[in-house]
Structure formats: structure tokens, C-alpha cells
Structure 1
């Protein structure tokens, strides 16, 4: 029942009740009911109708009004989040990209000098800040799902959004619906998955990418696997792979394990807990 219909029913029911009572009273009850008794019964009948039927309609009206206010507040919040995401993307994100280009140019020009390590540290910091900004933009643009299990569905939906933005052809199998992550754990896990997928897109030259998650609250894992060219040497020690080292640091700070096995045709990053 709509908000407008509830209001009209609240207005009409007392009027119809009194009119119907007066009609019955004068047409059928006059020989049996005195005028004074009928006058006393009229407010009593209206009171009982108000207590039984109108009180329920008032609760429905309050519920409808609360729902409208919540919808209005949610719309305002989403518009503010979208505006903030646009400002981050058009301002800070673009500036960080320009800064990364300049630091890369400076790193090439200062290679072999005593300032090379300083430039690498600056590049690492820029890359880390850029990762945080991308994550913030993704979180701001994400619209929570009002499902029965909102936390699990929200995490899966955000992973699907990340895959859509990075490697749209990737295949996802997600079976972590019974695992409860805190807000910080969700942010860190999503950042790790995003970094892994970005590396696949930039470097792997893969034709097949798979994101697979399974486990329970005490033992779970997320696998990001591709059939690309692989990485020569220890990927966590390469000079230009700041993102992988930052991802490993993220996992260690959260008490998780991160494994990276790379070979031509089969490269796999595993993020998990309780795997040993």
C-alpha cells in the first residue's frame, strides 16, 4: 500500500464508520436503542475502530515515511560518494599518474648514480599511494547490496567489480560466503586481489585468468591464476615490481600468507590464512 493510499484511508475510515453506524442505528435500531445510548455508543465505536484499524495504518504510515527518508538519505550519500570519487580520480589520481611518469623518467636518467635508491624509494611511495587512491575510488563507487548476507555478497560483488575493471575475461568462483571479514580485512584483501590482477593485465600476456576462493573461517585461500609468460627470477625481488612487494607486506601485516609460484603457462598467487 502506498503512502498516499494510507493517508486517504486514515481520513476516510472514521467518516465511513460514523456514517455507517448512524445509518444502521436510525434504520434498524431505533425501536431497541434510545437516543442517549446511541449517542454514547458513537464515540465508543470510533475509539475501537481507531485502536484496532487506524493504529495499524499509522504504523504502516510511519514505516513508509521512514523508508522514504532512508531512501532519500541513501541517494544523497551515494551522490556524495560518486562526487568524491570523481574528484579523487580527476584530481589526486591524475596527479599521481603524472608524478609516477616523472619519477620513472628521473629513475632512468639517474640509473647508476648515488641517487638511484632514493628514486626507487620515491617510486615505491608513489605506487603505494596510487594503490590506496584506486582502492578508495573503488570503495566509493561501490553500491552495497541489500541481500540476506550483505557482508559476504558485498565482498564478492566488489571482487567481481575489480575483475570487470582489470581483467574482464577472468573466470570467478567464489566460495567464501561463510567467512566473516572485518572492514579493514576486506579493504586489504581487495587491494591484494586488485594488484595481482593489474600485474596479470600489464605483464602476463595471458589468455586465461581465474580467480578462485574457498575455505572456512579458520582456513581459507584466494587463488589468482593465469596462463601467461610467467616471471623470470624471484618476482618479489625484481626492481620494478613494487606492487608485489607491497602486496606481500599487506598480507603479512594482516597475518595472512602469500605465495607466488611463476612458470610459463602457469603463474599463481595464493593469499590465505591457515594454509600451513
Structure 2
């Protein structure tokens, strides 16, 4: 029922009720009900109809108002995030691009200094490009909904994989077997961010041709796997000082009590995110005592 329909029913029902009652009273009930009794019954009937029907209609109107407030709040948040992203793009991102151009000009103008000091401009260029990537990543994050409930979960995941494939040309396969109902809204948001961060790392560092995103429910929790056939890594990737995305993923996993692993297996890099449900120890103790 729409807001307009509920409003008109609230206005019309009391009028129709009292009109119908007066007609029935005067047409059929005058021999049986006195005028005084009929006058007393009129407000009682209106009150009964009001409590029976109008309270439900008021509840519907309040629910519609709450939904409108939420939609306005989400819209305002998205507009603000878009404004911040636009300011970042027009300000910091453009300044970083100009800085990179000036570094290249200095490099060309100081070939001798570059050779003597062990490629100092290469390090500056690398740092500028990294910061530029982080800023652009922040801009991309701002342009995604802050709340996973804005879009249906699977629609969000399909949009993410489709955009990744269109932007990178990397073939990506989504095999999602995890029921949406077992994830909280907070888990959906953090999982979406973690998977997106994993795809960003693949695009930036892996030189992969294929990516698989697989999810499944386990006996005591669930498992998310992001696999790629890229070049992999050396040592512990979480110890790399310039891999801020991995550090953010690890911090996010710790806050959510998830297990986070990054490993190589058969020339594939595998990112694992696993949640294990807590086991009720009291029940286990009771069962073991019964077995004895």
C-alpha cells in the first residue's frame, strides 16, 4: 500500500463508518434502539473501527516514512562520497599527475646526476605512482555504496567481477555457493571490501590471465577463495612495507575474527578468508559425560 492510499483511507474510513451507522440506525434500528442509546453508540463504533483499522494504517504510514528517511540518508551519503571523490580527483590526483610529469622532466634534464646517485629519480617516480594509485583506489572506494544493503548482495558481486573484467581484460569466474542469509550486513560489507582489495592487488601486481572467486559453506563456518594464475610472491607478502592493501585486509580480518591466508599452490596464488563458528563447549562437555 502506498503512502497516498493509506492517507486517504485514514480520512475516509471514519466518515464512511459514521455515515453507514446513521443510515442503518434510522432505516432499520429506530424501533429497537432509542435516540439516546444510538447517540452513545456512535462514538463507540467509531472508536472500535479506528482501533481496528486505522492503527494498522498509521503503522503502515510510519513504516513508509522510515523507509523514505533511510533512502534519503543513503542518497545524501552517496552524494557526499561522490563530492569527496570528485574533490580528490580534481585536487590531489591532478596534483600528483603534475608532480609525476615534473619528476620526469627533472630526470631528463639531469641525466648525469641520475647516473651518479644510483637512479634517485626512479625511486621518486615509483613513490609518486604508488601514492597516485592509492588515491585513485580511494576515489573508486568512495564511488561504491557504503552499505551493502543498497544493492542486493549477488548483484553487487556480479557488478564487481564484471567491472574488473572489463577494466583489466582478465578472465574472472564467480562460483558463489554461500547462502546470503548466513552473512550479517557487517560481514557483507567487509567481505565485499576484502574481495575488491584482493582483485586490486591482482590487477596491480600479479600479471594474471585468470581469476576465480569461490565461496562455500563449511561444517563450522564458511570459506571464501580468490585464486589467480599470476606470478605470485616471494617470502611473506604481509611483511611488504609498500603493500598497504594487504595490511588493511589483515586488520579487517582481525576485527571480524576471520582467518586470512595468502599462499602459493600449483603455480596459483590463493587468498583464503575463513570464518569458523564458535562451538558450545558446555554442550560438548554434557555430551561427553553422557557417553561415559
- Measure how far apart 1:50 and its partner are: 0.8
2:132 aligned residue: 130
Instruction: Name the CA shift for 1:81/1:253 in 2 (closer, same or farther; >3 Å).
Output: closer
| Distance in 1 of aligned mates of 2:97 and 2:273 | 33
- Measure how far apart 1:184 and its partner are: 6.2
1:194 aligned residue: 200
Say yes or no: does 1:173 pair with 2:194.
no
| Distance in 2 of aligned mates of 1:249 and 1:135 | 10
| Distance in 2 of aligned mates of 1:133 and 1:248 | 12
- Measure how far apart 1:235 and its partner are: 6.6
Query: 3-state DSSP class of the match of 2:116?
Result: coil
| Distance in 2 of aligned mates of 1:210 and 1:252 | 21
| Distance in 2 of aligned mates of 1:235 and 1:112 | 30
2:119 aligned residue: 116
Instruction: Name the CA shift for 1:185/1:63 in 2 (closer, same or farther; >3 Å).
Output: closer
1:27 aligned residue: 27
1:81 aligned residue: 81
Contact 2:229 2:268 in 1 (8 A): yes
2:269 aligned residue: 269
Gaps of 5+ in 1: 238-243
1:39 aligned residue: 39
Q: Deviations over 1:234-266 (max 9, x none)?
A: 9769xxxxxx974498269727444468xxxx9
Out of 223, 226, 235, which is 1:222 matched to? 226
Instruction: Name the CA shift for 1:268/1:245 in 2 (closer, same or farther; >3 Å).
Output: farther
Contact 2:178 2:222 in 1 (8 A): no
- Measure how far apart 1:38 and its partner are: 0.3
- Measure how far apart 1:56 and its partner are: 0.6
| Distance in 2 of aligned mates of 1:160 and 1:32 | 75
Q: Deviations over 1:201-230 (max 9, x none)?
A: xxx5x8x5333334565754311236xxxx
Query: 3-state DSSP class of the match of 1:146?
Result: helix
Gaps of 5+ in 2: 251-258, 275-292
- Measure how far apart 1:60 and its partner are: 0.8
Contact 2:263 2:271 in 1 (8 A): yes
Query: 3-state DSSP class of the match of 2:226?
Result: strand
Larger mean CA deviation between 11-20 and 249-258 belongs to 249-258
2:246 aligned residue: 250
Q: CA RMSD in A?
A: 3.9
- Measure how far apart 1:112 and its partner are: 3.6
Contact 1:156 1:174 in 2 (8 A): no
